[in-house]
Amino acid sequence: MLSTALLFSDVGNAMHISQYDEMDKHDRAQYVTLLIKGAHDHLSANGQSAQAERILYLFENSSAKFGWPQFERNLHMARVLNAKYAADPNNKKAPYEVEQALALTLQNNGILVPVSFLLTINKNFKPSYPPIKQ
């Protein structure tokens, strides 16, 4: 289940999962890589170099138990919950976003980076490739 800590974040600059899903795979990878690098740099600049190095290890290891597969599972879980909430006419919950899926992945690995910070990293992101046709 998604952490309640992720429910209380401002998603004003967030990447909607539907927008993310429409991007070319290269742009999706670039978007998340920039989030990871930004989180790493943020932790390093705030004296948390051990946490910063954990982020790199988490996403550089291709083992199924590490970062990318965990992120993809959290993103899938967010998609499922978003669809469930969208189908409920009484729903008042905001949809989950890409940044929240990454924050949950980091949190599940003992790395705390506020969603509010993650939202600032890619606020000016522009895809390089045309969107994929669905």
pLDDT tens digits, 51-86: 999 999 999 876 656 899 999 999 999 999 999 999
| Confidence category of residue 5, pLDDT binned at 50, 70, 90 | very low
pLDDT at 60: 86
pLDDT band at 3 (very low <50, low <70, confident <90, very high): very low
CA distance 75 to 21: 10
Q: How far apart are CA 12 and CA 46, in angstroms?
A: 24
Average pLDDT, the chain: 87
Q: Which of 77, 81, 82 is nearest to 101 (CA)?
A: 77
**What integer pLDDT is reported at residue 132 of this predicted model?**
81
